[in-house]
Structure 1
Amino acid sequence: MPDTELLVEFDQPQEVFFPGQPISGRVILITEEKYKARAVNIKFEGCAKTDWDDHESVRRVDAEGKAHYVQQRVNYSANVKYLESTALLWACRDGTNELAAGKYVWPFSYNLPANIPPSFEGKYGYIRYSVTAEVDRPWRFDKAKKRCITVSPLLDLNILPHAMTPLHDEASDTVGCCCFKKGYLEMRVDIPKTGFVPGETVPINLHILNHSSVPVTEVKAKILQQCKFVAFRHGNTFDFTGESLMAHSAREQKQDMNAVIKQTQALTVAPSNEHKLALELRLPSVTPTINQNSPIITVEYLVQISVDTTSTFSSDIDCEMSVLIGTVPIRQYLPPAYYPPNPALPPVMPTPMPPQIGGGVAPPPGYGFVPPQPEGSVPMNAPPYPGVGGGAEPLPSKGDAVVIPSAPPLSYQDSMYGTGGTQLNTDENEKPFVPKYPVFNDLPVYNPSAPPPE
């Protein structure tokens, strides 16, 4: 019997969808002969999953009464269900349970919930969304086609005041140790704002003051993706309600740090001298910051800077700051050509922010959303976010709040970690799934406090 082909196609060719908006497309069945089928269903699923094994020592007593310890494997896991819905596309009504040879097309549409996190693949967990078409076949194995999709929330930096807040950190330490102390080294670090988007350049302004007797030889800068995973002994499954799951007992946490981008620059700062310089790190395709609507997986980003000397012991000093990765760049720092000014949007100014050294940048609840406008007010007709259909599609919403999309042209690119970033349940799809994230190309570098070029 010839193969029968089952396909799932989407109206959005990038297969990137926004919370609160519809997933639409069609299921296609092509058969060259009569095909036994009772019904055709489509299933929409979204979940977060964490999973790992640890080992612990367990005391055992043998038949002679002697105690000894053995290693026992203990599983920790957690599942959070964000969506699970099944719809009937076709059912046999005449009792034949048969489809004639030919091509069949069934359209579908499903509105995603508004408060779901972005797709993500990590070492100890993932956030994954899928669409599965299934043919119910009597007395035979069902035929199914599963497609993973990317969900990408609109994390608009324009409506997060602290995204525009400059970051500052400084460090100083003695070079050398004990009887070999060689003075001290001081470093001051400034980043002109907190919020960035993939494709944008993160400028790092350094002021190095060498009060030691040895020269500074090197500066290193890197951006790290800090992933935290929560799981429970012997597992737990939750339906997501927006409430915290952290009250459950036997909770364990794993952390994974991934390099996003690194840069090393050789330089010489002689003893009793100082030097200013700027480093630039361009963000590749990475998931936006995840710290809302995701109780078992969080993703944040750290900038680490290290200055090294020729000293054998205690030769370097370090600084660390947290940055926020969004999906819509800050409008006021871009040339007018990117989008015209919108008088309906209120101006947003930087706000003071307490020092957050390695503590993560936490957007306020409901990040990425703005309140609805009062009746009779001027509508916020911001330029449409790419891929939303030129403004023809309804805007994403959260309760009574409406997301105002606004951004210059972008592209959707596979996660920088590729299939290597997909490490759990890699065999549940035809091939490991790689999520796509918005990347903004050719954005100008915003660095008003940059030191003069050397």
Structure 2
Amino acid sequence: MYLPGQVIEGIFHLVVDADKQTFNNVEVSFFGSSKVSFQKADNCRIDCERGYHHGRMHNGVVRRPTHQPIRCHAVNAQRFINVSSKVELNGISVFFFANTELSRGTHLCHFKIDIPVHWPFSFTGKYGKIKYELQATIRRPWKMNRHCDLEIVLLPSLGPLLGDPILPHPTIVRSVCDLKDTFFNCCCKSGSRKIIFDVTLAKAFYNVNRNMEFTVSVTNCTHFKLTHFFIYILCESLFSAEGAIQTKEDSFVNTIIEHSIKSNETSSFQAVIPVPDVLPSLDFTNIKLHYYLVVKAFGGKYKSDKSAVFKKNIILVGRDY
């Protein structure tokens, strides 16, 4: 396992089992690929055609056919199409024994390959994966090339590359949301229905497996009472292929905070939630992992029949190795 920016160093053993063998070259290369594959739903219309009704034999007598006009009609249908995409990550190659004749025995190839700093980490998901390989290729005249592959795992570590996470001035994110019915997703029918969230974030990004601290200030402009808050981290995975996007959502760290706010009042509270040991944020060509901090306020006449949602994207980075 390696980190971006590190060096892959090793020795390739080439065994020659003949007295003399000529080699075009021996190549040691490091490369990767990002593959996405899923089924896309496609709405279509199928044209159906009704032809003539031919006569049938009944009791030994062939009845005359009843000629009906051809009728065409269309039927709405849905079909699924397999779509895929692949992005190549070409690395550095090192060559040995170019146009060289080698004798019987074991020949050593010492190599050093730098891993690009900007390459994404290894990833395996439901609809795609990012994979890296270290490959040795032997090329000989008039013979098929021989390959030897070794999978390399690239760990996520973006924290040191982004600098100090502490902001000189904390960022206050404001969001004005509507208080809606929890089950029917419709707004209140009378009076003001605005809930104003002011969330103060002290860091530009957060490490996984660490605590996330922030301040939540809420202004209740409705005539209902807010009773409690539900806080969690939402992960949105996006896989793109051939113009289509497949989305998958997962939630982590479900925390309930009992804090009541009366109508036309402003109140604030401190929140500390643990960031789970998940994959960090990823923004690659065809695979993206986006994380959001979600604060959901509940209230209403029956305590939880109405809710308002605050949602802010956050950046998660790897551990401090």
TM normalised by structure 1 equals: 0.50
Seen in structure 2, the aligned counterparts of structure 1 residues 164 and 139 have a Cα distance that, compared at 3 Å, is farther
Matches within 5 A, 1:23-62: 23-27=8-12, 42-56=28-42, 57=44, 59-60=46-47
Please point out which of 277, 281, 298 is paired with 1:289.
281
Letter in 1 for 2:87: V
Please point out which of 194, 197, 201 is paired with 2:211.
201
- Asked if residue 278 in structure 1 is aligned to residue 270 in structure 2, the reply is yes
1:157 Cα shift? 3.0
Once the two structures are aligned, what percentage of the paired residues are identical?
16
Once residues 178 and 213 of structure 1 are traced to their aligned partners in structure 2, the CA distance between those partners, rounded to angstroms, is 10
Q: Is the 8 A contact 1:284 1:439 kept in 2?
A: no
Seen in structure 2, the aligned counterparts of structure 1 residues 161 and 142 have a Cα distance that, compared at 3 Å, is same
Please point out which of 117, 122, 133 is paired with 1:119.
122
2:152 counterpart residue number: 148
Seen in structure 2, the aligned counterparts of structure 1 residues 178 and 266 have a Cα distance that, compared at 3 Å, is closer
Q: Is the 8 A contact 1:173 1:185 kept in 2?
A: yes
2:63 counterpart residue number: none
3-state SS, counterpart of residue 153 of structure 2: strand
Q: Is the 8 A contact 2:237 2:287 kept in 1?
A: yes
Gap runs ≥5 in structure 1 = 1-14, 233-250, 327-437, 442-454
Seen in structure 2, the aligned counterparts of structure 1 residues 110 and 158 have a Cα distance that, compared at 3 Å, is closer
- Asked if residue 262 in structure 1 is aligned to residue 249 in structure 2, the reply is no
3-state SS, counterpart of residue 192 of structure 1: strand
Q: Is the 8 A contact 1:223 1:262 kept in 2?
A: yes
Q: After superposition, what is the alpha-carbon deviation per residue over 1:198-219, rounded to whole angstroms, capped at 9, x for unaligned?
A: 3442212122445656543321
Q: After superposition, what is the alpha-carbon deviation per residue over 1:397-444, rounded to whole angstroms, capped at 9, x for unaligned?
A: xxxxxxxxxxxxxxxxxxxxxxxxxxxxxxxxxxxxxxxxx4139xxx
Once residues 116 and 93 of structure 2 are traced to their aligned partners in structure 1, the CA distance between those partners, rounded to angstroms, is 15
Seen in structure 2, the aligned counterparts of structure 1 residues 67 and 108 have a Cα distance that, compared at 3 Å, is farther
Q: Which one has the largest radius of gyration?
A: 2
Q: Is the 8 A contact 2:172 2:198 kept in 1?
A: no
Seen in structure 2, the aligned counterparts of structure 1 residues 90 and 221 have a Cα distance that, compared at 3 Å, is farther
Q: Is the 8 A contact 2:133 2:149 kept in 1?
A: no
1:47 Cα shift? 1.8
Once residues 209 and 149 of structure 1 are traced to their aligned partners in structure 2, the CA distance between those partners, rounded to angstroms, is 48
- Asked if residue 253 in structure 1 is aligned to residue 245 in structure 2, the reply is yes
Letter in 2 for 1:309: G
Q: Is the 8 A contact 1:117 1:153 kept in 2?
A: no
1:131 counterpart residue number: 134
Please point out which of 159, 163, 171 is paired with 1:158.
163
Q: Is the 8 A contact 1:171 1:317 kept in 2?
A: no
Q: Is the 8 A contact 2:135 2:147 kept in 1?
A: no
Seen in structure 2, the aligned counterparts of structure 1 residues 207 and 86 have a Cα distance that, compared at 3 Å, is closer
Gap runs ≥5 in structure 2 = 52-69, 182-186
Seen in structure 2, the aligned counterparts of structure 1 residues 17 and 188 have a Cα distance that, compared at 3 Å, is closer
Letter in 2 for 1:225: C
Q: After superposition, what is the alpha-carbon deviation per residue over 1:48-80, rounded to whole angstroms, capped at 9, x for unaligned?
A: 222222132253555847455554432322222
1:267 Cα shift? 1.2
1:319 counterpart residue number: 310
Please point out which of 230, 233, 244 is paired with 1:223.
233
Letter in 1 for 2:2: V
Once residues 144 and 254 of structure 1 are traced to their aligned partners in structure 2, the CA distance between those partners, rounded to angstroms, is 34
Q: Is the 8 A contact 1:218 1:267 kept in 2?
A: yes
Q: Is the 8 A contact 1:223 1:302 kept in 2?
A: yes
Q: Is the 8 A contact 2:137 2:145 kept in 1?
A: no
Q: After superposition, what is the alpha-carbon deviation per residue over 1:374-399, rounded to whole angstroms, capped at 9, x for unaligned?
A: xxxxxxxxxxxxxxxxxxxxxxxxxx
Once residues 168 and 240 of structure 2 are traced to their aligned partners in structure 1, the CA distance between those partners, rounded to angstroms, is 27
Once residues 63 and 175 of structure 1 are traced to their aligned partners in structure 2, the CA distance between those partners, rounded to angstroms, is 51
1:150 Cα shift? 0.2
Between Structure 1 and Structure 2, the one with more strand by share is: 2
Once residues 184 and 276 of structure 1 are traced to their aligned partners in structure 2, the CA distance between those partners, rounded to angstroms, is 17
Letter in 1 for 2:41: H
1:359 counterpart residue number: none
RMSD between aligned alpha carbons? 4.5
1:130 Cα shift? 1.8
Once residues 8 and 119 of structure 2 are traced to their aligned partners in structure 1, the CA distance between those partners, rounded to angstroms, is 14
3-state SS, counterpart of residue 117 of structure 1: coil
Seen in structure 2, the aligned counterparts of structure 1 residues 116 and 160 have a Cα distance that, compared at 3 Å, is same
TM normalised by structure 2 equals: 0.67
2:65 counterpart residue number: none
Once residues 255 and 94 of structure 1 are traced to their aligned partners in structure 2, the CA distance between those partners, rounded to angstroms, is 54
Once residues 169 and 196 of structure 1 are traced to their aligned partners in structure 2, the CA distance between those partners, rounded to angstroms, is 20
